[in-house]
Structure formats: C-alpha cells, structure tokens
Amino acid sequence: MSGNTFGTVFRLTTYGESHGPALGGVIDGCPPGVPLSEPVIQHELDRRRPGAGGLTGTARREPDAVRLLSGVFEGETTGTPIGFVIENTDQRSRDYEAAKSLLRPGHADGTYLAKYGRRDYRGGGRASARETAARVAGGAVAGAMLAPLGVTVVAYTVEFGGIPARVLAPADAADRPFYAPDPEVIPAWETRAKEAMASGDSLGGIIEVLALGVPAGLGEPVFDKLDARLAYALMGVGAVKGVEIGSGFAAARLLGSQNNDPIVSPPESNHAGGILGGIANGQPLVIRAAVKPIPSIAREQRTSDVSGQPATIIVGGRHDRSAIPRVVPVLRAMTLLVLADMWLLQKTVHG
Amino acid sequence: MSGNTFGTVFRLTTYGESHGPALGGVIDGCPPGVPLSEPVIQHELDRRRPGAGGLTGTARREPDAVRLLSGVFEGETTGTPIGFVIENTDQRSRDYEAAKSLLRPGHADGTYLAKYGRRDYRGGGRASARETAARVAGGAVAGAMLAPLGVTVVAYTVEFGGIPARVLAPADAADRPFYAPDPEVIPAWETRAKEAMASGDSLGGIIEVLALGVPAGLGEPVFDKLDARLAYALMGVGAVKGVEIGSGFAAARLLGSQNNDPIVSPPESNHAGGILGGIANGQPLVIRAAVKPIPSIAREQRTSDVSGQPATIIVGGRHDRSAIPRVVPVLRAMTLLVLADMWLLQKTVHG
Amino acid sequence: MSGNTFGTVFRLTTYGESHGPALGGVIDGCPPGVPLSEPVIQHELDRRRPGAGGLTGTARREPDAVRLLSGVFEGETTGTPIGFVIENTDQRSRDYEAAKSLLRPGHADGTYLAKYGRRDYRGGGRASARETAARVAGGAVAGAMLAPLGVTVVAYTVEFGGIPARVLAPADAADRPFYAPDPEVIPAWETRAKEAMASGDSLGGIIEVLALGVPAGLGEPVFDKLDARLAYALMGVGAVKGVEIGSGFAAARLLGSQNNDPIVSPPESNHAGGILGGIANGQPLVIRAAVKPIPSIAREQRTSDVSGQPATIIVGGRHDRSAIPRVVPVLRAMTLLVLADMWLLQKTVHG
Amino acid sequence: MSGNTFGTVFRLTTYGESHGPALGGVIDGCPPGVPLSEPVIQHELDRRRPGAGGLTGTARREPDAVRLLSGVFEGETTGTPIGFVIENTDQRSRDYEAAKSLLRPGHADGTYLAKYGRRDYRGGGRASARETAARVAGGAVAGAMLAPLGVTVVAYTVEFGGIPARVLAPADAADRPFYAPDPEVIPAWETRAKEAMASGDSLGGIIEVLALGVPAGLGEPVFDKLDARLAYALMGVGAVKGVEIGSGFAAARLLGSQNNDPIVSPPESNHAGGILGGIANGQPLVIRAAVKPIPSIAREQRTSDVSGQPATIIVGGRHDRSAIPRVVPVLRAMTLLVLADMWLLQKTVHG
C-alpha cells in the first residue's frame, strides 16, 4: 500500500517516471472474457496525449504506444494479470538539466526531496503528469469490462479560466476542443487561453464526470462509500484541488427541504449526485473536480534552490497552458476504475 | 476491504448499528508506548455527543461511554490491537417502527435495500450518524500518538446556513457554540438555526480542518497522495458532499502566477494548502468540507414505500437541525487517522 | 495489515489479551442473509474451551460466552460488520506476577519484548492461546455462510505424542476425546498423556483438516493460491510448526508417476490434496499441521531474566498438557475462514 | 488482492504467461537509496535459469534478460515503484498445440479451466514455473535492500529423490550442482536423476532455507506471524506441498522438555527455527519446503480431455526432470521478500 496500487479487487498498479525508459502498469482482478486488445487501450491513450483535447501548447510529441504483455489470449482477458508498457521515446532530458538545483513553485520538487531525500529531477520524474498515461490505460480496461453492463462514463469541462459552460450535450464533448459540453463556449475559451499564453501564464478549470447506468447498490459503507472512493480517485490526480458530488458545496447553502430529492419516478432532481449513504441509488453519478492552473509558467518566480538559498526561476521545458484537456480523460479513467472495483465488490455481497 | 476498515498501517475497523446492542472498533498498528486511557477517548466522544457544539435539537441523550478492552497496559499502548466498545443505552427503537416500510428522502434507506436486499430500519442502522462515534474514538488514539510529535489538528465551522464566519482564532473554536472560529458570528447563526427549526427545516455548512506541525514528506504517491487520502477520509463521512484543499475550487479561477506559492521563508501564501504532488510541504494543511443540510426534516415529503408505491412521509424520531456540530469532531478525527497512518508509512520510507 | 486482520473480502479482525477486560473481533464482508445467532457461535466456542476435546489438565474455567454486538437483525446477517465480544471473567493475574521478570522458554515473552519494547506479562497477553477464541468465533460465522453451499470442514488428530491413529470416521471425531478419528487409539493416547503429566512434561501431535464440497475453482494465483492461504492460516496458529497439503512431505520421496493423480472419474487417488496450481480441483482438501508440545512444562528450565541474566524457571499457572484438543477447532475455524474468503473472491471472477 | 501482489509495504506485483510477449513485475515500497542495477537482478535470474543448478534436462534456453523500467536513478532506488520486464524470446508454442484439448495430470490445466472458464494453454500459461522469474527479480531487490543490514539468506537441497544430504557448508551450495550442501552427496543424486530420466520419470526433494542476521522483533502477530508469512510465501510456489519451521513435523513427536530451547547465551539449540510467538528471536531462521516430483513425465498417463472424456496423454515439450534446482532460488527470493516486508513493517512499530 505504498501508493502505487489502486483498488481492492479490480486493481491497477503503475510505475514509471517522465524520463525513464518506460512507464506502465499491471491490472489484476479483471474477470476473464472481456474483449481486449492494444487498439482498445490505444484509443483512450490518444485522447490523453499532448495536443488532444484541442488545446495546443506542448512541444512534446510522444506516440504513447501501448504494448500488452500478458493476460489476454485470443482477444479476450483470461483472468490473469494484464501487464502493459508504454515506452518513453521523446525524452530530451537535457531540457531539464538547468533546473536541476532549483525547486519549481507549485511543483513537487521540494516535497519529493523531503520525502525521499532525493529526486529524479528529469521532467518531474514520477510526479510528472505523464504518470497518468498508465491510469488511462487502466481505465480503458475497466471501461471494456463495464461497457457490456451498460455503464458509460463521460467527462467534460464545465468551466475554464473562470468562464463557465452550459452542459448541453456532454456525450459529444469528447470530440470537441477543451472537451467542451457546449460548442458555443469554445471561442471564449480559446481567447482566454491565448491571453494566458501571451502573458506566460496558465489556467485552471472545473471538470464534470457523469456516470450513467450505474446500478443501485454499488459502494461499500462505511469508509469505502462510493463517494469516498471517487473523491480519493479524483483528488489523487495531480492538479486536482477539490471534488464534489451532486450539489456539492452548493448543498451547504440549501435548506433540507431544498436539497432532499423526493423519491418519485421518474426522478425530479439529483442533488445527491446519485449517491445516498455512500451507495449508488440508480440515478446518474455527478462528480466535479477543480483543477488548478498548471504551475509551469513562463514567468520569473521567486523560489529556493535545493540547499535552501533564495533564487529566481523561469521554468523551461515543454508545457501545456492548462492541464484541463489532459486531465479530462484521466478523471474519466479514474471513475471507471472505481466503478469496476465497486461492481466486483458488489458481487461478493449479493452474488 | 469491505468498507469498515480505514488505513494501511494505523488501521481502524468499526462496527455497530444505531439501535443494536453496541458499537465499537479495533485499532491495529498503533505503536507501543502511547499514553492512553478511557478518559482520553471519552473527552473526544463528549465533544461529538448530541447537544455538544452548542446546537440543540435532539432528544437522544446517550452517555456514549467508551470501554477499552485491550491493547493498553499500565497506562500505555502495548502495540497489540486496541479494542473498544460503546454500549447503546437509549435506543427507543419503537420511534422508528412507523417508518419501517417508508423510504426517507435524502437517507440511505433505499440504497441499503438495493445493496443488501434488507436493512436494519431502526434509526438508520449502520447508516446512522451514530456510527461516527467509533471514528471519533479512533481519532482520539491517533491524536494521542501524534501529540508528542507536535502535530495538532483543529476543526471549525466557516459557514453555516449560508452565513460565513471570519477565521480569527480557530484554536478556540472547540469551546464555542457551532465550533465558531469567530464569536461574533454566533448570534447570526443561532437566528438562522431557529428560523430553520421553526419551519421544520434543516441547515448545512462548511467545515475547515487545519493541521499544524505536519512534517514535510507525508503522503504516498501516486494514488495515496496525502490530499487523496484526506478527500477519501472526509468524503466518507455521512452528509459531506465536497472536499477541497487549500484554494480548492477557487484555484480553478486563478492564473498560475496567482496560484503558485513562491518558495520563500517565511511563506507568503498557502494556496496549495500544505500539499504539493500529494506530499506535505511543511506548511499547515488546510482542508474544507461541504456538509449538506440534514435530511430528516419535520415536513411532509414525497417518497415511496419499500414496494415502490408513492407515499408521503413526515420523518419522526429525534433529530438534529444540522449535522454541523456533530460532524466537526468527526472530520477532525478522520484527519488525525490519515495523518497517523501517513506518519507510520513515512517511517518505512526514510526510517 | 499490522497482523490482526485475516482475509481479503471475508475479513476477521481480532483483539484481546489473555488477562485484559475482554477479547473479541469484527467480521467484515459477510454477505447478508446468513442465519446467525449467539448460540451458533457459542456451540463452536464450547468445543475449543479448556476441558473440551477430552484432555484434562487446565484449572482455568472460562465460560467463553460470546455476545453479538452488530450486523445481525431478525436472526440473519445484514451485510454490515459483525462485532462480537467475549469477556474475560476468570483472570487470576496474580498467578503470573512471580514470573514477571523471567522469560519462559518456548514462549513469546522475549520476542514480544524485542518487538514492542514491553509486554503484557499477564498470562501471555496477546500471545496466549486464549486469542484463538476470536478465531473460532470468526470461523463459526464463515461456517454458517458456507453450510448451505455444501461445504463442510472436519478436523481431527492423526497423531498424538508420536502415536498415530487410523482415520476411520473423521466426521465422528468431533465428539470423541482428543478428536480421535479412531476410537481404538484413545486408550493409548490417554496413557501417553498421563505419562507426560506424571513427569511434568507435555506432548504434541499432528492434526488433519478435511474439507468436503469445496467447489473447483477456489484459489487466487499466483501468490494467493489456495494452499498458500491455507498454509498462512494454519501456520499462524500458535504451536503449529509445519503444514502440508495432500501427500505433503511424503511427495518429496515419490516419483512423478507415483505422485500424479490420474484424471479419472471417480478419482482413484488424491496426492494433490484437492489443489492443483493453487486452485481447488473439486476433490476433498486434505491439510495436516504439526503441533509442537506445549512449552509450559512443570519442570525446571534454564532461561534468562528480562535483563539478560541467567536464571531458572518453573512455569506456574494453569496449563494444558497438550495444545492438541484446543487447536483442533482452531484449525477448522481457520480453514473455514480461508474458504469463505476464497468463495467470495471467486464470485468476482466468474459471477 | 486478486493474488498477484505479495507483501504489505514492500510489495511485488507480477504478471506474465509462459508464452505471452513478456513477464515482469512492479516493486512498490522499496525505500530510496538502495544500490540497484540490471546486473544485480540478472545475477539472480541466471541462477534460476533452466540448466543452472547443475541438473540438465530442458531444451528451453531463455536468456531471461531483465530490463529495469523505473524507480532507479543514478544507480540507486528513488522510492518510486520499480518496474521491470523480461521478454519471452524462445516460445515455440507449436510444441503445445497437440495437447490443447487434453488435461495434463498433476498440472493446473483443469483447475484454471474451472476457475476462469478458459486457459492460455501454451506451456502452462500463468501456471508455468516461468512465472517465478519475476519472483526472483523481486527477491533480488529485497536482497539488495537487506544486504547492508546484515541479513543473508541461503537455500540448498537437503533431500533429493529420497536421498538426504548432510548440511555441511550451506553457504557454498549456491555454486554446486543441485545446490547441494555437501559435495559428497552429488554423485548419488546424479545417479538418482539419471535413473529417473531413463524411465521417463521425475523426482522431488526437500529444500532448506536459512536466514542469518534477522533481527529479533520481525513478525506481526497474530495473523501475520513471521512463520505464517513464510509458509504463505513458500507454499505459494508451484510444486511445494509442505512447509515447516525449525523442528517442524518432528516437533510433534518430541516432549516439551526436548523441544523447548533453553534461553542461554550462546544458544544450545534451535528447535524453534528462530521464531517464537510468530516473532523472530534473533537466532537463524530455518525453514524447509517439500517439493513434489515434476508432473510432466515422459510416460503415458490416464487423463481426460476438456470435455470430460477419458483419454491418455504423453506430455511433450521441454521439461526438467526435477523442479528442485529451479525452485531453490525461488524459495530464497520469497524468503527475502517476506523479510524485506517485515523489516519495513517493524519500522512502524519501534521507529
């Protein structure tokens, strides 16, 4: 439980630094008979790749080609662990040499030093967003398991750089820039992104995840409530600083008579976000996550070097202007991983 | 991992229904030599008891007397598991008979049925807030372990019924009504509470947890990041619908240049809430949780019976008007449990 | 995972010292709908009690009365955790004061000191065989879950003090002295026991566990093979020094052509003991455990005191002449716990 | 916990089939600062390779070249997960096509079918002994962590084909045929092996593992006792049918006065095998495992096909005449993995 394994029965273990030889993972506990192949995973990885999601701003172009190493035979999972690897092919670690002795504000440089007494300073090492590729691969397997059961998960951006979007057609967001749920908001978001880039700055936003077809009953009280596991899953993604379910923080300002969803058919409201007492109630799950602006900005910042001396830094390397487009598929993947695990756990309750 | 154990090395396992014979728990992994006695735990339980926190509204008066059953010898922990039990002495389950066949909106009645095919309908059973007494007892042990290390955790209410409070003297909040961090807000909150009670309604709010003295290095990337574990811990408390760290959702609207904390000594800001890359950076941890209004309201609501037929319900029994005062000590306890676990895990990294 | 929780999905967590206020446990992950009551558990506890199993020699007479605290409603499990407690009522800790500073050979006195830097020296504390009462209670719940599925587990003594028994009617052993599978061996065993007692000495033996009706497919390769989990379960019981499956150590001396079981119907042999590749094959499980002679003997022994000075000790207190009769129900319980867990895990594979 | 992760804090997760693209694993929880490189692991893998250990009989020649993918920087571990992969380069899966529909006696063919409803029939798939290469790699990392602490583990063959060996110089066994602890026994073992090969048969034996320098205090009562974890670790290796500690099964026939080790300095005996109450006492750990004769024999055997029809089979492919030489390094590796985990867990107790 040293932090690199996720899940109880459907379990993803990951490894890999930004500029090491490769990253990858092992999925244990996936039942046999799930149709799976490299293209199924590759399709999801391509969405997460720098440049996908419509927001430019990174020079790094990794093919992120996944290779399946085990656990699949004749096109289906066998029940044994599924190993996969993604080679790092475009590492350019020389870019990062200059900053070897400086701590980047908003990054994990100093905290990795504090924790481990050392750090792989090439491009963030394990703390790099590149780590999330293995999560997306794991989520693709979870999604393949859940798809025939009628569970679908979509994720989209509901606010970017302070500009909110209407949620009109969330299922279409996957093919739009910024994963926008409303095409009309895109020009405003593009303008906002250009402004930030022009001033060497970066932007954050809010992502919503919507899970449909989740059967009532998923969730393991009292500590492994469905919402607790979702919060754990999403807050564990770099750059996420807040998670809420259903009405979330707004619920704190409502009266009980406003926030309670009457139990009627069809449902009239979903303040609960599909979860009561930590257990899915059959309504859609609604989860939102706050994503901070990416800390790598092209402006001089005050910092300290590794020996504690004051310094200034201009963070070089190749960077996105916002984590949003890369985080959207990751949050979707993490939600799928939670649901796959909870689905299997529920089989032990009522199977 | 069926949901009733919390933690990896410092582990709390709990049991108990609202109206069963007793509730309690087992703490495993507490090191030897921690001064511990029943009064140490009782002190924390008394804060959580109905009526504490200054907000009246429940008729139930449980003494919540804890009894230590093992793991303590001559006033100190021995390293063996610490069993404890809290008897249920004032159960009045007849109050709940009437609602046996009706599902209460906003409660877990229907989801427990969906999950388990049955439910202990007496007062919420396992889904009752009464379950959290065992969390508070566990947190008291975690706190006893952490206290000599200089870690202190305080929790207080920063918003109640939509009315925010200034955070003036958080350490004093524990002795004020509503756990208010500013005595001047109390009259407004009392008025708000009376209004809600008069209309048979209920209120929510926002609780902040502040952890001081947390050493840099705690947190286990990548899935068990400190913020991920805190989100998991707090979102798993009934009524919590959102969790944020540092600037939280507000960070989504800031520019990178605004949200980055310069690495200077002394620190000038703490947008990160004391966590970078999932690892504590030595600054105070700042966590906020949104608490929904309590769903038991004294007003007629539309619902369904257990067979799915439409019905109306007026929830009887003894109820608080807001969960806020009872949840404050619980969130503090959960934070202590996370920190105790992360402290011990960090010993395996750099010990 | 600090050692006091057993199982992955069907999980038993235990606590309690020999001479503390009480011992007990929590069973998490038991599905709803299992018929359960205090008498069901008490029946198994009574078998384990000093004096049961036909071998006299202890003066301690604990009623070992179990009290169910949660997780059962209207005579059936609800799916929530099952808490139980057994009070210690006959502790006589004064008996042990004299030996407070001396380490008893063959006991855990010195190793607990080495591990924890202290120990609860009253009657063995957590290392006392009394701890196993909670295992038997847990096994009773596992057995209640498995019984309707046709799984039955019996345990009996196949060798005592060096004298082997024929295995004639293992199912009847539960009601015989020494859990003997052949009534004719009992007089010889009684003579052996009397000889040992007369010389202030103690005896060991070999216990066999037979599990019938275990469905093919149970077991989780590669580390959680069914035989690996059984070995873990049984070797973790105090006094057990060896575990073997099927032909066990004898298989090391056979040729492959002798040890392979032909796959024919009905089966002609069971050298494998019902497990191939760590997975049950549908034949009976056959497991044997070697139990050392109880280390508390009424003879002077050379030892050291807690400061490391040489000393001699005559162990006082109330002691059995052999652990065998008390261990038989414990090994049966541990086997049931393993099977219950593996049964539930298998639901996640093929459910 | 679906069976492919081993350990609590120092954790090895493995994947890979005999004839898939590759096998490998992830080690999580290894502290930073352990000197590690591919040659360190390769050295151990070479010992396990078919043909090492001095016993001929397999035609397969895999280079078993390990590639480190993460977690190591500038020659030392960083604290992040260590990914590694071993490509399968000599698969010849056509050898196994003929036996696709037949179940091999003594193998896991039928039980994998029962568990998963399918199987990767190429060379045993996940049930192949090839899986253990990842264990040896994991053990190499555990050994690298433990070496500077003075812990050393050796393993050797104490009985082969029914012929016992004297344990004269166990530390030299690693460089001898059969890992023999006495060079004089080798001719008799070679003769025995040739006889078995001539008759198309196979042999088993008994392996002893000796761990020196294990500090007193390791082991986590009550379920994760050191001996319980060792039994779990060793019994989980294919072909192992029995595990014993210290005097093991022989202890069942001793009197207490014979089996108790007097607590004197220096120690006069070690019947306990270095473990009391599940905790190391500072003496050498002594563990023995019984290994069955390899089930792939070159003789006709009665079996059934996958549809249940009676059949006969002569198992083709490339096979060893005994698992002994390949299992010796695997049992050493598993012991190192247990000790590494227990070492780190002990830091949480007394750190």
Closest CA to B164 of B205, B203, B124: B205
Task: Say which range, B83-92, C1-10, C88-97, has the weakest mean pLDDT.
Answer: C88-97
Q: Which of B220, B257, B281 sits opposite A2 (nearest CB)?
A: B220
Taking an 8 Å cut-off on Cβ atoms, the answer to whether C29 and A348 are in contact is yes
- Identify the band that residue A56 occupies on the pLDDT scale cut at 50, 70 and 90: very low
- Identify the band that residue A54 occupies on the pLDDT scale cut at 50, 70 and 90: low
Q: Residues of B with CB below 8 A from A57's CB? A: none
Q: Which of D1, D80, D348 sits opposite B344 (nearest CB)?
A: D348
Q: Residues of C with CB below 8 A from B13's CB? A: 5, 13, 26, 28, 81
Q: Is the model's pLDDT at D220 over the cut of 80?
A: yes
- Identify the band that residue A113 occupies on the pLDDT scale cut at 50, 70 and 90: very high
Classify residue C180 by its DSSP letter: -
The alpha carbon of residue C83 is apart from the nearest alpha carbon of chain B, in Å, by 6
Dist. CA C245–CA C279, nearest whole Å: 12
Residue at A170: amino acid letter: P
Q: Residues A316-342: pLDDT tens digits? A: 665 678 999 999 999 999 999 999 999
> Both ends of chain A: CA-CA distance in Å?
28
Q: Is the model's pLDDT at B97 over the cut of 50?
A: yes
**From chain B, which residues contact D within 8 Å (Cβ)?**
1, 8-9, 29, 31-32, 79-80, 221, 344-345, 347-351
Q: Residues of B with CB below 8 A from A230's CB? A: 235
The alpha carbon of residue C68 is apart from the nearest alpha carbon of chain D, in Å, by 22
- CB of C329 closer than 8 Å to CB of C153: no
- Identify the band that residue B237 occupies on the pLDDT scale cut at 50, 70 and 90: very high
Q: Which of C221, C344, C350 sits opposite A348 (nearest CB)?
A: C344
The alpha carbon of residue B23 is apart from the nearest alpha carbon of chain C, in Å, by 7
DSSP assignment of A125-154 equals GGGSGGGHHHHHHHHHHHHHHHGGGT-EEE
Taking an 8 Å cut-off on Cβ atoms, the answer to whether A21 and D115 are in contact is no
The alpha carbon of residue A119 is apart from the nearest alpha carbon of chain D, in Å, by 7
Dist. CA B201–CA B293, nearest whole Å: 9
ipTM of predicted complex: 0.96
Average pLDDT, rounded, for chain A: 92
Which residue in A has a C-alpha nearest to residue C33's C-alpha?
A350
Taking an 8 Å cut-off on Cβ atoms, the answer to whether A349 and C32 are in contact is yes
- Identify the band that residue D47 occupies on the pLDDT scale cut at 50, 70 and 90: confident
Chains that touch D (3 or more CB pairs under 8 A): A, B, C
Which residue in D has a C-alpha nearest to residue C192's C-alpha?
D255
Q: Is the model's pLDDT at A307 over the cut of 80?
A: yes
Q: Which of C114, C233, C278 sits opposite D279 (nearest CB)?
A: C114
Task: Say which range, A212-216, A304-308, C76-80, has the weakest mean pLDDT.
Answer: A304-308
- Identify the band that residue B123 occupies on the pLDDT scale cut at 50, 70 and 90: confident
pLDDT at C61: 58
Q: What number is the average pLDDT over the span D82-109?
A: 83
Higher pLDDT, C240 or B50: C240
Burial (0-12, 13-18, 19+ Cβ within 10 Å), C318: middle
Closest CA to A18 of A134, A176, A170: A134
Taking an 8 Å cut-off on Cβ atoms, the answer to whether A116 and D25 are in contact is no
Q: What number is the average pLDDT over the span C87-110?
A: 80
Q: What number is the average pLDDT over the span B18-25?
A: 96
pLDDT at C57: 45
Q: Residues B268-285: pLDDT tens digits? A: 999 999 999 999 999 999
The alpha carbon of residue C68 is apart from the nearest alpha carbon of chain B, in Å, by 8
The alpha carbon of residue B308 is apart from the nearest alpha carbon of chain A, in Å, by 9
Taking an 8 Å cut-off on Cβ atoms, the answer to whether C351 and A351 are in contact is yes
Task: Say which range, A112-116, B204-208, C45-49, has the weakest mean pLDDT.
Answer: C45-49
pLDDT at B257: 96
> Both ends of chain B: CA-CA distance in Å?
28
Task: Measure the CA angle with vertex D56, ends D55 and D58; round to 5°.
Answer: 125
Average pLDDT, rounded, for chain D: 93
Q: Which two tokens stand for residue D71?
A: 């977690």
Chosen for mutation from C18, C194, C225, C257 (greatest number of chain D CBs closer than 10 Å) is C257
Taking an 8 Å cut-off on Cβ atoms, the answer to whether B252 and A348 are in contact is no
Dist. CA A222–CA A225, nearest whole Å: 6
Taking an 8 Å cut-off on Cβ atoms, the answer to whether D111 and C245 are in contact is no
CB burial readout A204-228, b (16+ within 10 A) else e: bbbbbbbbeebbbbbbbbbbbbbbb
CB burial readout B112-141, b (16+ within 10 A) else e: bbbbbebbbbbbbbbbbbbbbbbbbbbbbb
pLDDT at A120: 87
Following CA atoms B217, B219, B222, B227 in sequence, which dihedral angle do they give, to the nearest 10 degrees?
-120
Instruction: Tell me what percent of the residues of chain C surpass a pLDDT of 90.
Output: 85
Taking an 8 Å cut-off on Cβ atoms, the answer to whether C26 and B26 are in contact is yes
Which residue in C has a C-alpha nearest to residue B76's C-alpha?
C118
Q: Residues of B with CB below 8 A from D345's CB? A: 9, 348
Classify residue A79 by its DSSP letter: S
Closest CA to A162 of A322, A32, A326, A334: A322
- Identify the band that residue C58 occupies on the pLDDT scale cut at 50, 70 and 90: very low
Taking an 8 Å cut-off on Cβ atoms, the answer to whether B347 and D345 are in contact is no
Chosen for mutation from C235, C314, C324 (greatest number of chain D CBs closer than 10 Å) is C235
Q: Is the model's pLDDT at A351 over the cut of 70?
A: no
Taking an 8 Å cut-off on Cβ atoms, the answer to whether A22 and D68 are in contact is no
Q: Residues B286-329: pLDDT tens digits? A: 999 999 999 999 999 999 999 999 999 998 665 678 999 999 99
Task: Say which range, B71-75, C306-310, D91-95, has the weakest mean pLDDT.
Answer: D91-95
The alpha carbon of residue C117 is apart from the nearest alpha carbon of chain B, in Å, by 8
Taking an 8 Å cut-off on Cβ atoms, the answer to whether D32 and A117 are in contact is yes
Kindly report the pTM of this predicted structure: 0.97
pLDDT at C100: 82
Q: Which of A6, A229, A292 sits opposite B252 (nearest CB)?
A: A292
Taking an 8 Å cut-off on Cβ atoms, the answer to whether B69 and C20 are in contact is yes
H helices present in chain A, as ranges: 38-48, 94-97, 109-116, 132-146, 186-198, 226-235, 256-259, 324-350
Burial (0-12, 13-18, 19+ Cβ within 10 Å), A283: buried
- Bridge partners, C244 (sequence order): C288, D242
Taking an 8 Å cut-off on Cβ atoms, the answer to whether C21 and B68 are in contact is yes
Q: Residues D148-195: pLDDT tens digits? A: 999 999 999 999 999 999 999 898 999 999 999 999 999 999 999 999
Q: What number is the average pLDDT over the span B93-106?
A: 77
Average pLDDT, rounded, for chain C: 93
pLDDT at B318: 58
Taking an 8 Å cut-off on Cβ atoms, the answer to whether D106 and C272 are in contact is yes
Cis, peptide link before residue A222, omega less than 30° from 0: yes
pLDDT at A26: 98
For B335, list phi and psi in degrees, rounded to 5. Answer: -65, -40
- Bridge partners, D214 (sequence order): none
- CB of C72 closer than 8 Å to CB of C32: no
Q: Residues of A with CB below 8 A from B290's CB? A: 244, 248-252
Closest CA to B335 of B250, B212, B221: B212
Q: Is the model's pLDDT at C124 over the cut of 90?
A: no
Dist. CA C122–CA B297, nearest whole Å: 53
Q: Residues of D with CB below 8 A from B221's CB? A: 80
Q: Which two tokens stand for residue D344?
A: 């780190």
pLDDT at A327: 97
Taking the mean position of all CA atoms in its chain, how far away is CA D133? 9
* E strand or H helix that includes residue B328: helix B324-350
Q: Is the model's pLDDT at D57 over the cut of 90?
A: no
Q: Which two tokens stand for residue A123?
A: 């491009």
Q: Is the model's pLDDT at B93 over the cut of 60?
A: no
Chains that touch B (3 or more CB pairs under 8 A): A, C, D
